[in-house]
Homo-oligomer: A and B are copies of this chain.
Amino acid sequence: MTETRQIVLASRPEGTPTPENFRLETVTLAEPGEGEMLVRTIWLSLDPYMRGRMNAGKSYAAPVEVGGVMEAGCVGEVIASRNTWFASGDIVQGPFGWADHAISDGVGVRKIDPNVAPIQTSLGVLGMPGITAWVGLNTIAEAKAGETIVVSAATGAVGGVVGQLAKAKGLRTVGVAGGQEKCTFAVQELGYDACLDHRATDGAGLAAQIAEAAPQGIDIYFESVGGTTLEGVLPNLNDHARIPLCGMIAWYNGKGIDTAPPLPLIWRNILTRRLRVQGFIVFDHFHRFGDFLTEVAPMVADGRLRYRETVTEGLENAPGAFLAMLEGGNFGKTLVKVGPDP
């Protein structure tokens, strides 16, 4: 019998979540049954999509129930196993939730080779955010050398990979990020041709800056934000531009919805500029994970693809780290270190 701490959804947020929406509990886990294993969490991934899971009502995935453990991708160590495919001592990545320990039946779990890259990259550049970037750029946007891409949340877990993969492919890359520090990092460390601070201006001001940074116009807008960034992008889109859409974090908490541009304006742009706006959810593309790793893992291993992490220590601090991330307080991939390295 294993005692574990876990963080549950205490109540559903109205608009911006608060610490009171979460509750830390200690429970006793049953022994792993036939086919199950006990995993000790080392790294916990915090991602914007979790905000959606806190709401009632079906989206593309079912919501977390009130009183249920918050969902998350994690990296952990198998410490007891009655599952054929996993053994004690294995390092695994899987949906173990916001908890110190979890019982897993192995569904959605994969072994991680610690020799390829630091194990927590399986939650970032070599995990869900990484393949989101790779699929969005290649499959959804069909990026081509010589085009210009604008990347929202340019230094985020997804955006940072988009910008670097696009640059490697021969595109002009323009990032948009919140704050000068992120913009400097985007250009100096991630190799963006330019990066613009959406916090220092408004939609019209950003539009003017983008016009300068993207003198040939925008062929691809990698959209995970909405809000001011989208307003700045819209007037600069070329005919036949593509907008792969995998998030809209600026609007997740309900803020800014009233002041967003009216739908007919977007509709008119889609029509007259022949835009293709395409939503995608990375889960639909996990069958391509092998192809993704084949291409991108070597780039991480030899340092061509760089990444940054914001690490918070301690499961009990996960809610605070999550709330900060929703406001852009993170830098790169947001992680919680839940337990010691193996």
Main secondary structure of the interface of A (DSSP, over half): mixed
Task: Determine whether A215 belongs to the interface, using a CB cutoff of 8 Å to chain B.
Answer: no
Copies of this chain in its oligomeric complex: 2
> Count the A residues whose beta carbon is within 8 Å of the partner chain — how many?
36
CA distance A269 to B271 in the complex (A): 18
Cβ of B268 and Cβ of A275 under 8 Å apart? no
Q: Are B270 and A278 in contact (CB under 8 A)?
A: yes
Known A251-B267, A262-B263; contact A277-B274, beta-carbon cutoff 8 A: no
User: A314 within 8 Å of B by Cβ?
Assistant: no
Does B248 contact A271, Cβ atoms closer than 8 Å? yes
A106 to B263, CA, bound (A): 40
Task: Tell me if B257 and A226 are in contact (CB < 8 A).
Answer: no
Chain B residues closer than 8 Å to A264, beta-carbon distance? 226, 248, 251, 256-257, 260
Q: Is A12 an interface residue (CB 8 A)?
A: no
Asked whether, in the complex, the Cβ of B268 is within 8 Å of the Cβ of A248, the reply is yes
Q: Quick check: is A79 within 8 A (CB to CB) of the other chain?
A: no
Please tell me which one of the listed residues B60, B262, B267, B284 contacts residue A258 in the complex, with CB atoms under 8 A apart. Answer: B262
Give the CA-CA distance A256 to B265 in the complex, in Å.
12
CA distance A248 to B267 in the complex (A): 8
Interface flags for A241-268 (1: CB within 8 Å of B; 0: not) read: 0000111100100001110111111111
Minimum CB–CB distance for A280 against chain B, Å = 5
Known: A262-B258, A266-B266. A276 touches B274 (CB 8 A): no
Tell me the bound Cα distance from A308 to B258 in angstroms: 42
CB distance from A129 to the nearest CB of B (A): 16
Least CB distance from A61 to B in Å reads: 9
Within 8 A of B (CB), among A275-316: 275-281, 284
A199 at the interface (CB under 8 A from B): no
Residue of B nearest to A274 (CB): B279
- Please determine whether B281 and A274 come into contact, CB atoms closer than 8 angstroms: yes
Minimum CB–CB distance for A54 against chain B, Å? 15
Q: Does A272 count as interface, using CB distance less than 8 angstroms?
A: yes
A59 within 8 A of B: yes
CB interface residues, A 159-173, toward B, < 8 Å: none
- CA–CA, A281 to B271, complex, Å? 7
Contact pick for A277, options B59, B246, B277, CB 8 Å: B277
6 intermolecular pairs with C-beta atoms under 8 Å apart: A248-B271, A251-B268, A260-B263, A260-B264, A262-B262, A275-B278
6 smallest A-B Cβ distances: which pairs? A270-B279, A271-B279, A251-B264, A277-B277, A276-B278, A260-B263
